[in-house]
Amino acid sequence: MDNFEPHIYELSAPGKHGTNLPRLDVPETDLPENLLRQDDLNDFPELTELEVVRHYTRISRNNASIDTGPIFLGSCTMKGNPKLHEEVARYAGFAAAHPLQGDALSQGALRLMYELQHYLGEISGFEAVSLQPAAGAQGEFTGILAFRAYHLDRGDHDRTEVLVPNAAHGTNPATAAMAGLKVVELKSDARGNVDMDDLRARLSPRTAGMMLTNPNTLGLFEDQIVEICRLVHEAGGLMYGDGANFNAILGIARPGELGFDFMHYNLHKTFTTPHGGGGPGSGAVGCTAALAPFLPGPRVRKAPDGSYELYTPEKSIGRMKAFHGNFGMLVRAWTYIRTLGEEGLREVSETAVLNANYVRARLKDLYPQAVDRICMHETVLKGQIAGASGVRTLDIAKRLIDYGFHPPTIYFPLIVPEALMIEPTETESKRTLDQFIEAMRAIAREAVETPELLHEAPTRAPVRRLDEVRAARQPVLRYDAEAFRRLREG
Amino acid sequence: MSHYISITEAERAEMLKAIGVASTADLFADVPADKRFPRLELPAPLSEPELVRELQALASQNANAQSHSIFLGAGAYNHFVPAAVDQILRRGEFYTAYTPYQPEISQGTLQAIFEYQSLICSLTGMEIANASHYDGATAIAEAAIMALNLVRNRRKIVVARGVHPQYRAVLRTYLQALDVTITGDETPGATLEDALALVDEQTALLIVQSPDFLGRLHDLRGLAERVQARGALLAVHFDPIALGLFQTPGEVGADIATAEGQPLGLGLGFGGPYLGIFTARQKHVHKIAGRLVGATKDVEGRLAYVLTLRAREQDIRRERATSNICTNQGLMALAATVYMSLMGKQGMRRVAELCYQRAHYAAAQIAALPGYAVHGGPFFKEFVVRCPRPVAEINAALREQRIVGGYDLGADEPELGNAMLLAVTEMNSRAEIDRLVDVLRSVA
C-alpha cells in the first residue's frame, strides 16, 4: 500500500463530526453579537471518528520509533519506554487532578513530587531540586538565571560572561544569550576534553560561570573535572552541568561531588519519559544549598504536621512556567527510579557504557574515532571511510535507513568533521548491536564499491530525500489547496 | 539484572573482550577514583504489582475530575477529552519517536505537526503557527522576546492586568536579565484602555488576554490599529475553546497570538504537560522561536513534510538563535490535532456554546442567591462571584460535598474582597450546577 495519506482537510466533507457531546440542558442566553467570530470556522475539517482514527493510525506508520526499532541517536538517550509508566501516569488522581485545587486535595501528587525531588538530589549529589522546568533548555535557562541572581545578591555586578566549550550543545550558548550574558567559547584539547590552558586564560572577574556537559558531547568523561570546577570557583564563577548525558554516570559519579553547583536532568532521556516525537520533556534542576534560595517555585516541602505543601524559595528567580512542571513526566520518572533502585540505576549506566564501547570497538577500524579513547555512553566516529570518495556522513546515515536503522546523530559535535554520534543505550540487546554493526560494516564496503547506493538512499523509507531548499525558499507552513496542487504537479 | 537490561553475563564477557578491558569497572577509569561508584541512598526496588499498588494509593489521595465536580479554572479547564485522543497518543509510533530530524522516517510526526499548524491557523485566523512552546505562559514570554527582536531599539513591554498572573510572572522571569521595562499591570482594576495609554514610542509590544483572567470577553476590534499606529505590535492571548464562537486574533489584526492549548483534549494533568500555542503573521516568520514544519516534495516528486527555516534554531545559530528552545510539547500538539479533527467545525462551536450557556445559567442562579453577586459584562465560561464569607470557608464546605470550588482571588485581586473565579464547562451538567448553587446557598 502507498504510504501517502492526504492532508486531514482533504478527507473532510460538510456535515460530519467525530464526537458525541452533551445536549444543552439549560435555558439559553443570547450571545453578544458584536463579539462573535465572522467566518464560522469555514475551513475547519469535518470527519467521523473512524476517519480521524484511521488517518492518524496510517500516518503513524510512517514514523521510526523506539517501539518499532532501535534509535542510536547520540545525546538523545533513546531507551525503551516502559509500558507501566503509560498506565500509572493516566490514573485519574494524576491525569485528572487540577493544579490549583490546593494542597489539601493533592497530597498524593505532592508526596510524589517531594520524593522525586529527594531521589534526584540523591542520585546527583545536590541539596535542592526544583521540578518546574519543562525541558532541558529551560533547565539551563533556570540555572543561568540563578547564577546571575546569586552574583547580584552578593553585590557582584560585573559577572557578564559564561564559558562554553566549543563542543557544547547549541542550547548552552543560546541560553546564555537569553540570560543577557556574553558567551566565551573554550577550545577542546587533543584528547577531546576542555583545553585547560584556554580555560585558565579565559577565566576572569567577569566570569559568571561555566556550562559543561560531562561526559561531554564527544562521549568522553572530562577527567580534569575536579580541577576545572576548582578553577572556575577560584575565579568566583559557578559550574553548570548540562545533564543531557547523565545516563552515563548513574551511581558512577555524582555531579555535586565533582564540583558542579547546578544541573538539569533530562527526565525524557535518562529517566525514560517518552520523547513524544519532540516533546514533552521535563528539565528538573538540582543545585547546592547556596543556590537553593534562587530556585524557581513552587517546590514541595514537608510541613511540621507531616503534610506536603507547595512553597516558593525566598529569593526565587520566579516561575519558569505556569503551575508545577510537566507533572505527568514526573510520575513516570518516579516510577522508573522506584523500579530500579540504587543497583538498577548503576547497572543502567554500566550497560549503556558497555554497549557504546562495544560498538566503538567493532567499528573503529572502518570509521575513525574522533578521539581514540574509552568512551562513556556514546561514541563519536567519523564518516571518513578509507578508499571511498564523494561519500559523506549524510549518505551513510541515509543508507542506514535502508538497513532498517534510524541514523545516529550526525554532524554534531560541530568540532568533529563528518561526525557520527552513536548512543546505543542500555536497553538494546547484543543481537541488535551486532545487526547495527554489520549494517555499518556493509555500508563501509558499499561506500567503496557501490557508492551510488549511498547517494540514492534511502529507497526503502516512506519517502526519499526531500527538497529542503524548496521548503525554505517557498515556505508552505499550513494547508493551502493551491500550494498542494503545485507541489503534486511538480 | 533488571528487566530493562538485555545483555547476559556471557555476552557481557564477550563484549568486554572485544573492547579489550577486563571488567566493566575498567570502563570508568577516567572518573576520579575517590568519587567513583558512590553509594545512593534510595528505597529498595519494587516489582510492577507493588508499584501499581503504591501509585494507586498516591493517586487516590488527589481530588480529580472523576471523584469531584470541578468548578475551578484559572488557566486549566476540565474539558471533555474524546476517547480517540488517548488511543492515538498511545500509539508507540508516535509517543516513542524522536524529534523528526530525519524526515524520511518521520513523516508521521511531521504530517501531524503540519496538520496542527494548519488547524491552529484555521482556528485563530492567523497566518502561521509554530510546532508548540512549553505552555501558554512561556508562549507569551517568547512573544515578548520576538517583539523585541522585530521592533528595534524599543525596550518596553506593556502587559494588561487581565493577563493571567502566572503568565505575567513568567514574562518577568524570562526578561529579568534583559534591559526591558514591563508595565501596565501594576494597578488593581486597570483596564485595557489603561494599558493602551501606556503604549508609546518606547513600546515594542502590548499583550492582552481575551477572555481575560477574570473570564471577561473584550471587543478587540480597532485595538491593533491603535497599537500599530504607535509603532508597536499587538499580542493577543486567547482561549482556543472560546474561538468556536468568538472573535479571533486574526480578525482583529493581532501580530502575535498565543494560547494555553490544554483545553484541546489534554486533560488537567495536575498542571502539565500542556501546550503553548504560538501564532504570528507570515512576515514575522524569520523571527519566530521554535520548530516549523513545511510541505515540500521528495526526489521522486511525492509531497512530503520537513522541519524548515531551521536557521533560527539553537542547534544551528547557537547564541544568535531566536530562542534556546529545543524539546517542545510535540505529543501534546498531536493530542490537540486529534481533538480538533474529531470536533470539527460543528464540535468546536458546540463545545463553546455549551460552556457559554451553562456558565451563564450558573451565573444567573448564583446572582439570585442572597449574599452573592456576579460581576457584570460579557464573559465566556468563567466569572467572578463576590461571596458573603471568605472563599476558603466556602471552598471547605464545597469540598465536603466533593465539589472543587472556584479560584480564590484574594491573593491576586485583593480589592475584590471575598471573591472567587468560577469556571463552568461542557462537563458541568445542569444537575451539577444546581448542586453547587445549593451548597453556596447553605453556606451564605
Q: Assign B311 a pLDDT band (cuts: 50, 70, 90).
A: confident
Which residues 286-325 on chain A approach chain B with CB closer than 8 angstroms?
296, 317-325
Taken in order of first residue, the domains within chain A and their CATH numbers are 8-60 (no CATH), 85-339 (3.40.640.10)
Integer CA distances (angstroms), A465 to A14, A406, B252, B300, B367, in order: 36, 14, 41, 9, 63
Phi then psi dihedrals of residue A354, to 5 deg: -60, -50
B39·A73 Cβ contact <8 A: no
Q: What is the CA radius of gyration of chain B?
A: 25
**Using the beta-carbon criterion (under 8 Å), do B94 and A60 form an inter-chain contact?**
yes
**Side-chain-side CA neighbours of residue A403 (13 Å):** 26
Q: Which residue of A has its CA nearest to B353?
A: A24
B 183-212 → A contacts, CB under 8 A: none
Mean pLDDT of A180-201: 96
Question: How many angstroms separate the CA atoms of B153 and B414, rounded?
Answer: 36
User: Which of B73, B62, B64 lies closest to B406 in space, CA to CA?
Assistant: B73
CA distance A425 to A351: 8
The closest alpha carbon to B267, from B82, B423, B136, B84, belongs to B82
Inter-axis angle of helices A49-60 and B107-124, nearest 10: 140
State residue A3's pLDDT score. 56
Long-range contacts of B187-192 (CB under 8 A, 24+ apart): B187/B161, B188/B161, B188/B413, B188/B414, B188/B415, B189/B161, B189/B415, B190/B160, B190/B161, B191/B161, B192/B160, B192/B162, B192/B218, B192/B223
What is the C-alpha to C-alpha distance for residues A68 and A70, in angstroms, rounded to an integer? 7
Tell me the pLDDT tens digit for each residue of B78-97. Answer: 999 999 999 999 999 999 99
Residue among A25, A60, A362 whose CB faces B108 most closely = A60
Q: Is A339 on the interface with B (CB under 8 A)?
A: yes
Is A101 in the B-facing interface, judged by CB distances under 8 Å? yes
Task: Give long-range contacts, CB 8 A cutoff, 24+ apart: B180-185.
Answer: B180/B144, B180/B148, B180/B155, B180/B156, B181/B155, B181/B156, B181/B157, B182/B156, B182/B157, B182/B158, B183/B156, B183/B157, B183/B158, B183/B159, B184/B158, B184/B159, B184/B160, B185/B159, B185/B160, B185/B161
| Contact assessment for residue B252 and residue B221, using Cβ atoms and an 8 Å cutoff | yes
Contact status of A155 with chain B (Cβ, < 8 Å): no
What are the chain A neighbours of B7 within 8 Å (beta carbons)?
351, 354-355, 426, 429-430
Tell whether A479 lies on the interface with B, counting CB pairs under 8 A.
yes
The verdict on A252 touching B (C-beta cutoff 8 Å) is yes
**Interchain CB contact of A363 with B (< 8 Å):** no
**What residue in A sits closest to B44 (Cα-Cα)?**
A341
A429-485 pLDDT, tens digit each: 999 999 999 999 999 999 999 999 999 999 999 999 999 999 999 999 999 999 999
State the pLDDT at residue B236. 98
Nearest chain A residue to B176 by CA: give it: A179
Query: Per the CB < 8 Å rule, is B36 touching A477?
Result: no
Gap between the Cα atoms of A376 and A355, Å rounded: 9
* Chain position carrying cell 518606547: B202
pLDDT of residue A337: 98
Q: CATH classification of B69-81+344-443, choosing from 3.40.440.10, 3.40.1800.10, 3.20.20.70, 3.90.1150.10? A: 3.90.1150.10
Alpha-carbon span A328 to A309, nearest angstrom: 19
A36 to chain B, any CB pair closer than 8 A? The answer is yes
Which of B246, B271, B326 lies nearest to residue A137, judging by beta carbons?
A: B326
Helices (H), B219-319: 223-228, 314-317
* Residues contacting residue A287 through CB under 8 Å, at least 6 positions apart: A126, A127, A128, A129, A143, A146, A261, A262, A263, A295
With residue B260 as reference, give the H or E element that holds it. Answer: strand B256-260
Q: Could you tell me the pLDDT band of residue A182, with boundaries at 50, 70 and 90?
A: very high
At A252 the pLDDT is: 98
- Is B317 in CB contact (< 8 Å) with chain A? yes
Residues of A whose CB is below 8 A from B260: 322
Domain ranges of chain B: 69-81+344-443, 83-339
C-alpha grid cell, residue B385: 462571584
The CATH code belonging to domain B83-339 is: 3.40.640.10
Rounded to whole angstroms, how far apart are CA atoms A315 and A153? 9
Q: How far apart are CA A7 and CA B405, in angstroms?
A: 42
Q: Look at residue B106 and give its three-state secondary structure.
A: strand
Mean pLDDT of B9-24: 98
Residues 426-455 of A with CB under 8 A from B: 426-430, 432
> How confident is the model at residue B190, as a pLDDT?
93
pLDDT digits (tens, 9 = 90+) for A377-424: 999 999 999 999 899 999 999 999 999 999 999 999 999 999 999 999
Give the minimum alpha-carbon distance from B205 to chain A in angstroms, rounded to a whole number.
Answer: 18
Q: What is the pLDDT of residues B316-329, one digit of tens each?
A: 888 888 888 888 99
The minimum CA-CA distance between A442 and chain B, rounded to whole Å, is 19
pLDDT exceeds cutoff 60 at A15: yes
Distance CA B346, CA B155 (A): 43
Give the gap in angstroms from C-alpha B226 to the nearest C-alpha of chain A: 19
Note the pLDDT of residue A1.
38
- All residues of chain B having their beta carbon less than 8 Å from the beta carbon of residue A18 are 82, 84, 341-344, 347
For B273, the closest chain A residue by CA position comes to A326
State the cell numbers at A217. 558531547
B303 and A CB contact within 8 Å: yes
Q: Which among B263, B228, B229 has a CA at the least distance from the CA of B243?
A: B263
Helix (H) or strand (E) holding B351: helix B330-367
With a pLDDT cut of 90, the percent of chain A lying above it is 98
Question: What is the CB neighbour count within 10 angstroms for residue A175?
Answer: 32
- What residues contact residue A342 under an 8 Å CB cut-off, 6+ apart? A251, B39, B40, B41, B42
Contact A476 B294 (CB under 8 A): yes
Of the candidates B424, B262, B428, which has an alpha carbon nearest to the alpha carbon of residue B356?
A: B424
Size of chain B in residues: 444
Distance CA B279, CA B258 (A): 6
The answer for residues whose C-beta is within 8 angstroms of residue B440's C-beta and 6 or more apart is B366, B369, B372, B387, B394, B398
Contact flag A458-B104 (C-beta cutoff 8 Å): yes
Report A:73-92 residues touching B (Cβ under 8 A). 73, 76, 78-82, 84, 86-88, 90-92
Contact map slice: B 282-301 vs A, CB within 8 A? 285, 291-301
Residue position matching grid coordinates 534560595: A293
Chain B CB within 8 Å of residue A229 CB: no
The rounded distance, in Å, linking the Cα atoms of A233 and A150 is: 13
Q: Pick B98's closest partner by Cβ from A78, A135, A173.
A: A78
Nearest-angstrom CA–CA distance, B241 and B264: 7
Residues of B in contact with A94 (CB under 8 A): 59, 62, 64, 269-270
Window 363-392 of B: residues touching A by CB (8 A cutoff) are 364, 378
The whole-chain average pLDDT of chain A stands at: 96
Mean pLDDT of A113-130: 98
B228 touches chain A (CB under 8 A): no
Measured between alpha carbons, how far is residue A153 from residues A146, A293, A294, B97, B167 in Å? 10, 11, 10, 43, 25
Residue B321: name the closest of A46, A176, A101, A302 by CA. Answer: A176
pLDDT over 70 for what percent of chain A? 99
Closest in A43, A55, A102 to B122, CB measured: A43
* Spatial distance between the Cα atoms of B36 and B304, rounded to a whole number of angstroms: 49
| Cβ of residue B411 closer than 8 Å to a chain A Cβ | no
Q: How confident is the model at residue B369 (pLDDT cuts 50, 70, 90)?
A: very high
Chain B positions touching A467 (Cβ under 8 A) are 296-299
Q: Which residues of B205-230 are buried (b: 16+ CB within 10 A; e: fewer)?
A: bbbbbbbbbbbbbbebeebbeebeee
Distance from CA of A389 to the nearest CA of B (A): 23
Contact B319 A177 (CB under 8 A): yes
Phi–psi pair at A222, nearest 5 degrees: -75, 95
Work out the minimum CA distance from B2 to partner chain A, whole angstroms: 6
User: Between chains, do B270 and A99 touch, taking CB under 8 Å as contact?
Assistant: yes
Strands A308-311 and A299-302 turn out to be antiparallel
**A120 pLDDT above the threshold of 90:** yes
Three-class secondary structure assignment of chain A? CCCCCCCHHHHCCCCCCCCCCCCCCCCCCCCCHHHECCCCCCCCCCCCHHHHHHHHHHHHCCECCCCCCCECECCCCCCCCCHHHHHHCCCHHHHCCCCCCCHHHEHHHHHHHHHHHHHHHHHHCCCEEECCCCCHHHHHHHHHHHHHHHHHHCCCCCCCEEEEECCCCCHHHHHHHHCCCEEEEECECCCCCECHHHHHHHCCCCEEEEEEECCCCCCCCCCCHHHHHHHHHHCCCEEEEEHHHHHHCCCCCCHHHHCCCEEECCCCCCCCCCCCCCCCCCCCEEECCCCHHHCCCCEEEECCCCCEEEECCCCCCCCCCCCCCCHHHHHHHHHHHHHHHHHHHHHHHHHHHHHHHHHHHHHCCCCCECCCCCCCCCEEEECCCCCCCCCCHHHHHHHHHHCCCECCEECCCCCCCCEEEECCCCCCCHHHHHHHHHHHHHHHHHHHHCHHHHHHCCCCCCCCCECHHHHHHCCCCCCCHHHHHHHHHC
Rg for chain A, CA atoms, rounded: 25
Sign for the CA dihedral angle at A336, A340, A342, A347 comes to: negative
pLDDT bracket for residue A296 (50, 70, 90)? very high
Identify the sign of the CA torsion B183, B185, B188, B190: positive
pLDDT in the model for residue B317: 84
Dihedral (C-alpha) A95, A98, A100, A101: value to the nearest 10 degrees? -110
Q: Which cell is A161 given?
A: 560572561
| Average pLDDT of the segment spanning B10-32 | 98
Q: Do B269 and A327 touch (CB under 8 A)?
A: yes
- Which chain A residues are within 8 Å of B248, Cβ to Cβ? 37, 39
Euclidean distance between CA atoms B170 and B167, whole angstroms: 5
